[in-house]
A and B are shown apart, each in its own frame.
Chain A
Amino acid sequence: MNLLTSWLFDPTNWSGPTGVPARLLEHLWYTALALAIAIVIGFPLGALVGHTKRGGFVLVGAANVLRALPTVGVLTLVVLLAGIGLVPPIAALTLLAIPPIMAGAYAGIGAVEPVVVDAARGVGMREREVLFQVEIPNAMPLIFGGVRSAALQVVATATIAAYVGLGGLGRYVFDGLALHDYPQMAGGAILVAVLAVLVELVLTGVQRLVVSPGLRPVRTSGGIQR
């Protein structure tokens, strides 16, 4: 157990430009950036295909292929082709985060009951209004599920991206590896694990706030009153 905690509890590792807080912030920054771009690209695509119900096959196929891509392979390839720096790794991270978001948007909007969409058109909403006022709010659980999945994906991949020169908590793993410093590796790994769990918890909390209470599973307490 000492192996796992010795590096973590050493206060010198918590200060300075290579200290835990700094690396943590880097990691969060990469995650936020990649996630934001992935949402901007993936969400409209998934939403559009889900709403128009055209191109679903292509979208699902593309998402599956993207998901099967080995993260290490994509990272190394992009960096080799586009050079070291911030952009190539972030681009790779974004690419890998798009499938869950796209799939979540597509599945979510596709799962909105046709009766509800029909009623939305029937009361006189324009297509744009149907999408934004009815389909998206009702698809929120699945959309958010996709976002959470993507967020975890990015946190994990950002760790690996340290291999190709990116900062963040993954640095501790690879620096430790190079120095045969297992406690450092372990420390980094534990920090990453904790961060991932925290991100998941926070996003779950946000989901509860964002998703309409009308979409929560209903607990029938003693039958419905006529």
Chain B
Amino acid sequence: MLERNAAVRCCGYCLRQYRYDRRDLGVIEFQAVTKRFDDGTVAVDELNLTVDPGRITVFVGPSGCGKTTSLRMINRMIDATSGAILVDGKDVRQSDPPLLRRGIGYVIQQAGLFPHRTVLDNVATVPVLAGWSRAKARKRAEELLETVGLPASMAGRYPAQLSGGQQQRVGVARALAVDPPVLLMDEPFSAVDPVVREDLQTELLRLQGELDKTIVFVTHDIDEAIKLGDKVAVFRTGGILAQYDKPSELLARPADDFVSNFVGRDRGYRALGFLTASGLTVGEIASVRLGDTAGDARRKLSDGWVVVVDERKHPCGWLSADRLSGVDEQAAVDADLVLSGGSLYDTEHGSLRSALDAALSSPSAQGVAVNGSGELVGSVTADEVLRALAAARTAGEVPQ
């Protein structure tokens, strides 16, 4: 039986909806796993952790904390010194490593694409290893290129001709080729520049929305961990698990000083991202349409500002007394006259954080509020947000 559950969260500017069904495919269990290297260093120390199926679990921590080592023990790239790792109840040590690895997707930093093969043949690697005919494998590879958002023209190119971001996408496609239930990702986005990284993160969330894989994701970037993880495991140097929780819990209730320091000084602000803005009052806002006259706009100015919307009632910017000075009464308001700026607060899906951001980034100190379809519905101010936050605290509202 599939249970459908629509849970929604807003992180920054991206909207994420996911549904999950309860499946047993892809449960990963660490049972008292320890890894000690020959020179004596303890990379992982008695790790006990269960990775939920169909979710993204992030391992995060400073260098030397054992996050990558733990990940690599799942597909036996490294073998544990003691303890057991079970995937779907079966100890990984009972499987032949190459066969185990063919059933687990593995994505690494710098992609590790085979330079001597075309993009298509790179993606088709595992199916061919698993015995598929080359034609069938290539067909599947073509589908996957589309899934990860690469144009079909890339298929015949070689990795050296691709940018870092494109190479990473190919790496993900290669990992997904035989549709494994588990995907291991080792700092996959660390080697690309921040703009590309954000794109890739959003892509991953979108993909996960379609595919529901069990993903174990390693990163040293706490922001990435909070953005992507359904659950986050914070590791301390020496291979010790400091806290394993939902991101909102990490932010609201860090287990100790290490975790709270690692999560960062502005965790309060980040925590706002997890509070729904149900108690927030949306106020009135003055608006004019594109094509109305400058005279109309002047008359509508409220506190010196008025919002301009298009024919679909989507806001496109602001007009102020300054902008309108010297403009003829009968002249039509057009796009050139409008001052753009400020983010939007979505009343149906937005969090307190996005409301605060809208208020703070608006040139008029009034945050623009829109409904789920993007139509203007009103304004929010910073004061209102803080009032709503205080109310949430006194009500003991637990951040979800």
A and B interact = yes
Chain B contacts for A214, CB-based, 8 A: 115-118, 158-160
Given A115-B108, A118-B77: A125 in contact with B129 (beta carbons within 8 A): yes
Assess the A122–B159 pair: CB atoms within 8 A: no
Assess the A213–B114 pair: CB atoms within 8 A: no
Assess the B129–A212 pair: CB atoms within 8 A: no
B283 in the interface (beta carbon within 8 A): no
A118 and B171 CA atoms in complex are apart in Å by 13
B75 in the interface (beta carbon within 8 A): yes
> What residue in chain B is nearest A134 (Cβ atoms)?
B114
Chain B proximity of A164: nearest CB distance (Å):
43
A226 in the interface (beta carbon within 8 A): yes
Chain A proximity of B186: nearest CB distance (Å):
9
Assess the A124–B114 pair: CB atoms within 8 A: no
A86 in the interface (beta carbon within 8 A): no
A176 in the interface (beta carbon within 8 A): no
Assess the B125–A123 pair: CB atoms within 8 A: yes
Assess the A116–B160 pair: CB atoms within 8 A: no
B159-176 vs A, CB cutoff 8 Å, 1 = contact: the mask equals 111110110000100110
A226 and B200 CA atoms in complex are apart in Å by 12
Chain A contacts for B116, CB-based, 8 A: 134, 137-138, 140, 212, 214-215
Chain A interface: which of B16-24, B97-105, B242-250, B331-339? Answer: B97-105
A200 and B112 CA atoms in complex are apart in Å by 34
Chain B proximity of A47: nearest CB distance (Å):
16
Assess the B114–A116 pair: CB atoms within 8 A: yes
Assess the A123–B115 pair: CB atoms within 8 A: no
Assess the A119–B158 pair: CB atoms within 8 A: no
Given A118-B108, A137-B116, A213-B158: A123 in contact with B174 (beta carbons within 8 A): yes
Chain A contacts for B117, CB-based, 8 A: 212, 214
Q: Which of A204-221 contact B (CB under 8 A)?
A: 212-215, 218
Q: Which of B42-95 contact A (CB under 8 A)?
A: 75, 77
A29-65 vs B, CB cutoff 8 Å, 1 = contact: the mask equals 0000000000000000000000000000000000000
Chain A contacts for B106, CB-based, 8 A: 119, 122-123
Given A137-B116, A212-B117: A119 in contact with B77 (beta carbons within 8 A): no
B277 in the interface (beta carbon within 8 A): no
Assess the B129–A124 pair: CB atoms within 8 A: yes
Report which of A123, A140, A215, A218 forms a contact with B126, defined as CB distance below 8 A: A123
Contact-residue bracket for chain B: 35 or more
Report which of A116, A124, A212, A215 forms a contact with B99, defined as CB distance below 8 A: A124
> What residue in chain B is nearest A221 (Cβ atoms)?
B161
Given A116-B115, A124-B126, A125-B98: A218 in contact with B110 (beta carbons within 8 A): no
Assess the A122–B101 pair: CB atoms within 8 A: yes
B234 in the interface (beta carbon within 8 A): no
Chain B contacts for A134, CB-based, 8 A: 114, 116
Report which of B112, B129, B163 forms a contact with A119, defined as CB distance below 8 A: B112
Chain B contacts for A218, CB-based, 8 A: 160-161
Assess the A226–B163 pair: CB atoms within 8 A: yes
A224 and B161 CA atoms in complex are apart in Å by 7
Chain A contacts for B97, CB-based, 8 A: 124
Chain A proximity of B125: nearest CB distance (Å):
6
Max chain B Cβ within 10 angstroms of own Cβ: one of A126, A140, A214, A224: A214
Chain A proximity of B145: nearest CB distance (Å):
15
A133 and B213 CA atoms in complex are apart in Å by 29
Chain B proximity of A126: nearest CB distance (Å):
5
Assess the A138–B158 pair: CB atoms within 8 A: no
Q: Which of B123-144 contact A (CB under 8 A)?
A: 125-126, 129
Given A125-B98, A214-B159, A215-B115: A115 in contact with B174 (beta carbons within 8 A): no
B27 in the interface (beta carbon within 8 A): no
A120 in the interface (beta carbon within 8 A): yes
Chain A contacts for B174, CB-based, 8 A: 123
Chain A proximity of B41: nearest CB distance (Å):
20
Chain B proximity of A63: nearest CB distance (Å):
26
A197 and B126 CA atoms in complex are apart in Å by 43
Max chain A Cβ within 10 angstroms of own Cβ: one of B77, B160, B162: B160
Chain B contacts for A215, CB-based, 8 A: 115-116, 160
Chain A proximity of B119: nearest CB distance (Å):
9
A35 and B129 CA atoms in complex are apart in Å by 34
Chain A contacts for B161, CB-based, 8 A: 218, 224
A226 and B166 CA atoms in complex are apart in Å by 7
Q: Which of A105-121 contact B (CB under 8 A)?
A: 115-116, 118-121
Report which of B101, B111, B118, B160 forms a contact with A121, defined as CB distance below 8 A: B101
A134 and B113 CA atoms in complex are apart in Å by 10
Assess the B102–A124 pair: CB atoms within 8 A: yes
> What residue in chain A is nearest B129 (Cβ atoms)?
A124
A214 and B121 CA atoms in complex are apart in Å by 12
A181 and B116 CA atoms in complex are apart in Å by 53
A107 and B103 CA atoms in complex are apart in Å by 33
Chain B contacts for A120, CB-based, 8 A: 112, 114
Given A118-B108, A214-B118, A218-B161: A123 in contact with B77 (beta carbons within 8 A): no
Chain B contacts for A126, CB-based, 8 A: 98
Q: Could you jot down 15 A-B contacts, CB within 8 Å?
A: A115-B111, A119-B106, A119-B114, A120-B112, A120-B114, A121-B77, A121-B101, A129-B98, A134-B116, A138-B116, A212-B116, A212-B117, A215-B116, A218-B160, A224-B166
Question: 17 extra interchain contacts, Cβ-Cβ under 8 A, other than A118-B77, A137-B116, A138-B114?
Answer: A115-B108, A116-B112, A119-B108, A119-B112, A119-B114, A120-B114, A123-B101, A123-B125, A123-B174, A123-B175, A124-B99, A124-B100, A212-B116, A212-B158, A214-B116, A214-B160, A224-B163
Please give me the 6 A-B residue pairs with the lowest Cβ-Cβ distance, nearest first: A119-B112, A214-B158, A124-B102, A124-B101, A212-B116, A122-B106
